A and B are shown apart, each in its own frame.
Chain A
Amino acid sequence: MSDQKNLTRLLQLFALAGLALLFLVPVIGSRALVQDLFGVLTLFILAQNWNLLAGFAGMVSVGQQAFVGVGAYAMFACVILLGLDPVIGIAVGGITAMILAIPMAFFSFRLAGAYFAIGTWVAAEITRLCFAQWKALGGGTGTSLPKGTTKTMFGVPEIKSWLGGSSSAASDALTYWLALILALATLIAAWLFLKSRMGLGLQSLRDNEEAACSVGVNPTRLKAWVFMLTAFGTGLCGALLFIQITRVTPEAAFSVVDWTAFVIFITVIGGIGTLPGPIIGVIVFYFLQRLLADYGTVYLIVLGCLGIAVMLFARRGLWGLFTEKTGLELLSLRQLPPEENQAH
């Protein structure tokens, strides 16, 4: 037992060291690496949010691209129409996504189980088609951030004078750090939430809805909270993503493949319903993409097959297999009895 504890400690130390290293990447790494890791981090944020929604709250949404798109468009509106700083636009993006989640929940919560998936997908399509009508932001063809916006945004000049190099590299570093902070915040918030009274209620609902209701858990209210909070996280991430991309079109911002399909596979392969799952999933996804980069869409086929295989043979994904084999846990959600009781 103490052996296992030591190993767990070791694993935690590794995780911390890895985190410290991640923070240093813009200082010591190349710009290409910063951009690559930015993509990985944002996918992780999206995946963790979806994991909370589907893995813990049992709401399999195929409409998360709605929140990415709305976050992106809200940020663009702040910058282009109101002349605000893109970093403020990120916060506005998150809040707008959360506001959109209210009518969307009102509609899609009427659909039980699998039909919820279709309901959210349709809602996302409706949002996409509506934003394609917004002529001030380019309508169906989209628009770009005004030239130089990202070079002068909040913090970039300071980072530039500190790191040296070009303004574009500094803006990449800024978006990277923001993504890293957001990823970390998502992970911690998810852990705290799941450890809280509400999180406990959520997991009890997943395990046995009737029993949970009988001890006073209110399923609709809990699920609505999770739906709105994950919409907020997804919207923030969407706005951040499109600061880096600097160009928005309805197709790209509301892409079901980029912002939902990838995210679903990442979570499923890594381990749905576990907190470290999306981390593992995003690492696998990144290497798969690098490995198969020259073969066009083959990596999507491989990803799909992997997802199917995981669902057939190992429902808790790679992380589930790992904990099963080794007994090691990270970010465990297990509730241990209080210390005094153990002493008796």
Chain B
Amino acid sequence: MILVDTLIQGILLGGLYALFAAGLSLVFGVMRLVNLAHGDLIALAAFVILSIGTALNLSPFVAVILAFPIMFAVGWGLQTCLLNHVLGDDILPPLLVTFGLSVVIQNGLLEIFTADSQKLTAGAIEVQSLALGPITVGVTPLLTFVSSVLVIFALNQIFYRTRLGRAFRATSDDSETVGLMGIRPNNVFAVATGIAMVAATIAALYLGIRANFDPSIGPARLLYAFEAVIIGGLGSLWGTLAGGVIIGVAQALGASINPEWQILSGHIAFVVVLLVRPRGLFPRSKD
């Protein structure tokens, strides 16, 4: 029974990791861009939610709605002003620029908000739980998981069912030909990054409610997110959810054996999956 409990906690934790990874997966799918600042952008989103919540005395669940347009604008601006200029065959510039961005954001947050741990307080919901037969699950982890499924579902709908999604896929396939059809690849990329930042804001909400955060948490979240994306297979959104769940379950199992092994076992699960299936579980395309 303890094992089943651990597995369920792991799956719910995996939902959070899938949320971290959703934006990353979308951006990679559209423009093959690897954003090393993604974790720090999640941290930034958490601080934006916190600031709005404290300034206007709102619950984080309301503050997050106000944070969406801000973070969308951040993503759009970053892509337009910075990242569009470094996209290309050479992988070095985008990697180094996003790495630089990561350091700038992290230390910028440190200057403004200091290194103190912060938390988003959501009230009673934080400690409520549901009894599902013999297993008890927390409401917040459950909500996190449901949100991550909804986010992945929504992103998939956008990607495969809308006009915008068609533009995403077409630009991803051939950004030059798309230009002939009256689509500006740079605008498409900017919108994609904006949407990815909205997903990151949702991730930040649950991250902040679940645990303490400070400006230095970005890189670790980035690694979990990347592991989820790579395990799932590049460009597959549902694969990303599966990848997040695998990392979550591995961490929960590791932690149940020895608390010091939690993070380690997540990383090791990633290595094992890659050794067995170098291109992830559900690779979408041949790149």
Q: Point out residues on A near B: beta carbons under 8 Å.
A: 54, 58, 60, 62, 107, 110-111, 113-115, 117-119, 121-123, 125-126, 129-130, 132-133, 140, 256-257, 261, 264-265, 268, 272, 296-298, 300-301, 303-305, 307-308, 311-312, 315
B278 and A305 form a contact (CB under 8 A) = no
Chain A residues in 8 Å Cβ range of B111: 296-298, 301
Closest residue of chain B to A60 (Cβ to Cβ) is: B95
Additional A-B contacts beyond A126-B267, A129-B267 (18; CB < 8 A): A54-B92, A60-B95, A117-B34, A118-B34, A118-B226, A118-B227, A121-B223, A122-B270, A126-B264, A126-B268, A133-B260, A256-B219, A308-B82, A308-B97, A308-B100, A311-B86, A311-B97, A312-B86
Give the distance in Å from the alpha carbon of A257 to the alpha carbon of B103 in the complex. 9
Which of A117, A129, A265, A296 is within 8 Å of B100, CB to CB?
Answer: A265
A303 and B103 form a contact (CB under 8 A) = yes
The verdict on B271 contacting chain A, using a C-beta distance below 8 Å, is: yes
Chain B residues in 8 Å Cβ range of A298: 107, 111
Task: Tell me the residues in window 251-278 of chain B with beta carbons closer than 8 Å to chain A beta carbons.
Answer: 260, 263-264, 267-268, 270-271, 274-275, 278
Chain A residues in 8 Å Cβ range of B96: 60, 264, 268, 307-308, 311
Interface residues of B toward A: which range? 35 or more
Closest residue of chain B to A117 (Cβ to Cβ) is: B95
Instruction: Take A264-B99, A265-B100 as given contacts and tell me if A110 and B278 are in contact as well, using a CB distance cutoff of 8 Å.
Output: yes
Task: Tell me the residues in window 77-107 of chain B with beta carbons closer than 8 Å to chain A beta carbons.
Answer: 82, 85-86, 91-97, 99-104, 107
CB distance from A335 to the nearest CB of B (A): 23
Chain B residues in 8 Å Cβ range of A257: 103
B100 and A307 form a contact (CB under 8 A) = yes
The verdict on B110 contacting chain A, using a C-beta distance below 8 Å, is: yes
Chain B residues in 8 Å Cβ range of A133: 260
Task: Tell me the residues in window 92-136 of chain B with beta carbons closer than 8 Å to chain A beta carbons.
Answer: 92-97, 99-104, 107-108, 110-111
CB distance from A226 to the nearest CB of B (A): 16
The verdict on B36 contacting chain A, using a C-beta distance below 8 Å, is: yes
Give the distance in Å from the alpha carbon of A117 to the alpha carbon of B267 in the complex. 15
The verdict on B67 contacting chain A, using a C-beta distance below 8 Å, is: no
B92 and A312 form a contact (CB under 8 A) = no
The verdict on B230 contacting chain A, using a C-beta distance below 8 Å, is: yes
B97 and A312 form a contact (CB under 8 A) = yes
Q: How many A-B contacts are there with CB distance less than 8 Å?
A: 113
Chain B residues in 8 Å Cβ range of A119: 274
Q: Point out residues on B near A: beta carbons under 8 Å.
A: 34, 36, 82, 85-86, 91-97, 99-104, 107-108, 110-111, 219, 223, 226-227, 230, 260, 263-264, 267-268, 270-271, 274-275, 278
CB distance from A249 to the nearest CB of B (A): 15
Give the distance in Å from the alpha carbon of A110 to the alpha carbon of B99 in the complex. 22
Closest residue of chain A to B105 (Cβ to Cβ) is: A304
CB distance from B166 to the nearest CB of A (A): 26
B264 and A107 form a contact (CB under 8 A) = no
Instruction: Take A296-B111, A301-B104 as given contacts and tell me if A114 and B271 are in contact as well, using a CB distance cutoff of 8 Å.
Output: no
Label chain B's interface by main secondary structure: helix
CB distance from B250 to the nearest CB of A (A): 13
Chain B residues in 8 Å Cβ range of A311: 86, 92-93, 96-97, 100
A107 and B271 form a contact (CB under 8 A) = yes
Instruction: Take A305-B104, A308-B100 as given contacts and tell me if A111 and B264 are in contact as well, using a CB distance cutoff of 8 Å.
Output: no
Closest residue of chain A to B216 (Cβ to Cβ) is: A257
B103 and A261 form a contact (CB under 8 A) = yes
CB distance from A40 to the nearest CB of B (A): 20
CB distance from B143 to the nearest CB of A (A): 29
A304 and B103 form a contact (CB under 8 A) = yes
User: Would you list the 9 A-B pairs with minimal beta carbon distance, nearest first?
Assistant: A114-B34, A304-B104, A304-B103, A307-B100, A297-B107, A308-B100, A129-B264, A304-B100, A110-B278
Give the distance in Å from the alpha carbon of A41 to the alpha carbon of B274 in the complex. 37
B107 and A113 form a contact (CB under 8 A) = no
A297 and B91 form a contact (CB under 8 A) = no
Chain B residues in 8 Å Cβ range of A261: 99, 103
CB distance from B182 to the nearest CB of A (A): 28
Give the distance in Å from the alpha carbon of A314 to the alpha carbon of B198 in the complex. 32
Chain A residues in 8 Å Cβ range of B103: 257, 261, 265, 300-301, 303-304
Give the distance in Å from the alpha carbon of A172 to the alpha carbon of B223 in the complex. 38
A60 and B223 form a contact (CB under 8 A) = no
Chain A residues in 8 Å Cβ range of B97: 307-308, 311-312
- Among B96, B227, B260, max chain A CB count under 10 A is at B96
